[in-house]
Structure 1
Amino acid sequence: MPSFADLTTIGVGGKIAHFSEPTTRVGLIEAIEDADRVGMPLCMLGGGSNMLVSDSPFNGLVIRDGRRDIVVPDEAEPVEGSDRSVHLTASAGANWDDFVEFAVSLGLEGVEGLSGIPGTVGASVVQNIGAYGQEVATSVASVEVWDRQAKTVLTFDDADMQFGYRTSALKRSMFTDDGARFFPSPRYVVLSVTFVLRHSPTGILAYPQLAKALHASLGDRMNTETIRDAVLKVRAAKGMLEDPARYESRWMSGMKREENIAKASQSVETLQVHGTEPSRVFRITDRHSCGSFFVNPQISAHDAAGLPDDAPKFGVTLPDGQTGVKTSAAWLIDHAGFHRGFRLSERSGAALSSLHTLALTNLGGAKASEIWALAHAIQDGVRHAFGVDLVPEPVIVGL
């Protein structure tokens, strides 16, 4: 049996008692039902990119959806008239970046800014992933789920999903009093997602850093393939691309399309990052992470007034409907004294990325407890310096 260290992008976590990878919809539901029937702890795993799991053995069942299909219910070419929308339906187990590449190759607009995010289609809607001016929520038409409590298949539309900043009704169903019995998986397990995209060869540059990388202006339109390539390069320069070599493992075989693994390997290994050294290739360990470890804090205007004048501040609507401020977790971490490459001791296998303070990395042989200790130290330091609580983005299991 594998361990979570074998299955997660950060490469830590204990041995797994039972592992299953159903390749049919019926088989997936039956595996979930079998575990729930006997009260066995159940962990639904996607690409393993948004989890930090204890070093202790997991005495339950880990299920990974083995279905990878992506289909086009509509014609790829736009119909006559003004409606240029095209629907794509993907199984929850489909690799997310495979899905983005497929959509862009069809000349569809809507998810190109989400290129290079590790994980699966199912996990994308649980987390409401977002980057470079796009969120998955804006492209979701419907989500088919298995309700573990009612023991039935449901179809959620956009309103049912209750998308928020890096959250959804599915994610929240893990953390309610009632949902505690389903943790570390949601009450609602994603079976498939139907997206509605726009037939267009161009997309909008909706993020300043991306526009700058393309020597363009915010709001300009540009070819979606060009945008995808730029996003991948920007993410790589931050150490925010997963290690393509992980798919060489027997436990990761088949999780990503071979042609896309080859492309990722070629681009990542040849990337040059220009930093304090004249020209250096960033460490492979920078990619052994959960990606962004903390969400950007959304705080009240009153609390934001206590931040330094040069702290990033963006107006947002808070979950309670009040006007608030979103600030940068990376900025807070850095200005609280935790700089790139920081670790608690020279012997620790856990460190901040050498490229981005928002990523906690496994330098090699790290324990989950070391990652968690570093996370706690950063939380305590930011709270002491700025009075802001940083909330982890990954699902934390057993720590």
Structure 2
Amino acid sequence: MSSMTTTFADLTTIGVGGPISSFIEPADDDELIDSIRRADGGRIPLAVIGGGSNILVADEPFDGVVLRDARRGVSIVDGGSTGSGGNRVRIKAQAGCVWDDLVDATVSRGWHGIEGLSGIPGTVGASVVQNIGAYGQEVATSVRSVRVWDRAALVVRDIEASRMGFGYRTSMLKHSMYQAPGVPDRRFFPTPRFVVLAVEFELFRTGYATVGYGQLAKALGVEVGAEMEPARVRTAVLSIRGAKGMLEDARRYNLAAMRGMRAQSGLAAALSHQKGLDEESLADRHSCGSFFVNPVLPLRRGATLPPEAPRFEAVLPDGSPGVKTSAAWLIEHSGFARGFRVTPQARASLSTRHTLALTNRGGATAEDVAVLARTVAAGVLSTFKVDLMPEPVIVGVDVP
């Protein structure tokens, strides 16, 4: 494809963003690392992206290199057969593998450990940067090690899970892009210092998955802590996410800029799952996913929230105890209903199904999304004195 005609709107789930000077898809380790080294050596802005699901980029041209990893292999490292002993299996997935293709492949074998993360858009590489989580699971609990290219030391490193600095929707990889929370590091932004090459996971090869989340348990008709076949858990998770509009629009993989990214079996299943949805429902999927992270507050600050506000035990970045509350609840109770638009004609709105998703209703620009984000964040700050922190990587756009 011609790099001059590729835009971030072509590559992202929210479908906004300007044209790209150079778009490349390395097919092997050497090409990937060489491409990064050339960009860094020439001090050319570099954006390494996966599925484009957790990024919001400005409408202006991106005068740099956008790299999307085309290495999508998955291999069994150890424990894949009954005769190998034990109940664990170790697999290695290259960073460019679409995350839900990996989940589908493991669940189809009866393996469990990541089934609760079904339907999350993006790639394996992005999964560990963000420490994705949903329905009682986080990717961190299944990661054994991460292979990265260190852009500062110019070496390949293998980082054990215990050294990854995993936290709520974060990791040491994500931290390496910022000088302070929300303050980009000019040298390593919007791409971390450590670019993921591959991830080794350890999953359970036999047995049943534990249902560890109330909403999921209710959907399955069981109690929290019940054990269930991984395939049934995956089906329930996809159904819940679909009802909230928190699955991507699988039609994007038929576009020229996205073609070939997904395994055909996974794409066929995703297209079948959304068959029959009207355009309004599909527009709810044109988002960055959850736009704001759930705030984690000091205990004293959490105690000032209304009694009915959701509260969960949490740990602050400094290791002290805190309380996590729901960003969606704060948004809704600040007067922003599902489907809220800044003006009746606005092309960006809150999802009609979930207030945590900011969506492109058709023809929206990055600035349209930014105006909506600023409006919502200002409303929450005014009502509850809580600052909302964006979850996506924000490039060239003024949001809170």
Q: Shorter chain as normaliser: what TM range?
A: over 0.9
Shift of 1:73: 1.5
Shift of 1:201: 4.2
1:385 has 2:389 as partner: no
Match of 2:163 in 1: 160
The one-letter amino acid paired with 1:322 is S
Spell out, residue by residue over 1:250-296, the C-alpha distance to the aligned partner (whole angstroms, 9 max, x if none): 1101110112111111111246xxxxxxxx89621000000000000
- The change in CA–CA distance for 1:218 and 1:15 in structure 2 (over 3 A counts) is same
The one-letter amino acid paired with 1:196 is E
Q: 2:321 aligns with which of 308, 316, 323?
A: 323
Within 5 Å, give how 1:318-397 maps onto structure 2.
Answer: 318-397=316-395
Secondary structure class of the residue paired with 2:245? coil
The whole-number CA distance in structure 1 between the counterparts of 2:160 and 2:335 is 44
CA contact (8 A) 2:79 2:88 kept: no
1:8 has 2:8 as partner: no
The whole-number CA distance in structure 1 between the counterparts of 2:219 and 2:88 is 29
The whole-number CA distance in structure 1 between the counterparts of 2:202 and 2:74 is 13
The one-letter amino acid paired with 1:135 is E
Match of 2:203 in 1: 197
Spell out, residue by residue over 1:48-96, the C-alpha distance to the aligned partner (whole angstroms, 9 max, x if none): 0000000010000000000110111224224565x31100100000000
Within 5 Å, give how 1:1-399 maps onto structure 2.
Answer: 1=3, 2-79=6-83, 83-176=86-179, 179-270=185-276, 283-399=281-397
| Structure 2 unaligned regions, length at least 5 | none
CA contact (8 A) 1:137 1:158 kept: yes
Normalising to structure 2: TM-score of the pair? 0.95
Spell out, residue by residue over 1:217-268, the C-alpha distance to the aligned partner (whole angstroms, 9 max, x if none): 0000000000000000000000000001000111101110112111111111
User: Identity across aligned pairs (percent)?
Assistant: 54
Secondary structure class of the residue paired with 1:283? helix
Q: Which range is displaced more, 195-204 or 143-152?
A: 195-204
The whole-number CA distance in structure 2 between the counterparts of 1:310 and 1:183 is 39
CA contact (8 A) 2:291 2:358 kept: yes
| Structure 1 unaligned regions, length at least 5 | 272-279
The one-letter amino acid paired with 2:211 is L
The whole-number CA distance in structure 2 between the counterparts of 1:176 and 1:84 is 42
The whole-number CA distance in structure 2 between the counterparts of 1:15 and 1:108 is 41
Shift of 1:176: 2.2
The one-letter amino acid paired with 1:200 is T
The whole-number CA distance in structure 1 between the counterparts of 2:47 and 2:248 is 21
The whole-number CA distance in structure 2 between the counterparts of 1:223 and 1:118 is 23
CA contact (8 A) 1:125 1:136 kept: yes
The whole-number CA distance in structure 2 between the counterparts of 1:347 and 1:369 is 14
- CA RMSD of superposed structures (Å): 1.3
The one-letter amino acid paired with 1:155 is D
CA contact (8 A) 1:78 1:85 kept: no
The one-letter amino acid paired with 1:111 is I
Q: Which range is displaced more, 170-179 or 47-56?
A: 170-179
Runs of 4+ in 1 over 3 A off after TM superposition: 78-81
Secondary structure class of the residue paired with 2:305? coil
Match of 1:276 in 2: none
CA contact (8 A) 1:239 1:282 kept: no
Secondary structure class of the residue paired with 2:252? helix
The one-letter amino acid paired with 2:353 is L
The one-letter amino acid paired with 1:74 is D
The whole-number CA distance in structure 1 between the counterparts of 2:59 and 2:198 is 31
The whole-number CA distance in structure 2 between the counterparts of 1:149 and 1:79 is 43
The whole-number CA distance in structure 2 between the counterparts of 1:147 and 1:316 is 31
CA contact (8 A) 2:135 2:213 kept: yes
Spell out, residue by residue over 1:169-218, the C-alpha distance to the aligned partner (whole angstroms, 9 max, x if none): 00000002794212110000000000011112420100000000011000
Shift of 1:315: 1.3
Secondary structure class of the residue paired with 2:43? coil
- The change in CA–CA distance for 1:150 and 1:305 in structure 2 (over 3 A counts) is same
CA contact (8 A) 1:179 1:186 kept: no
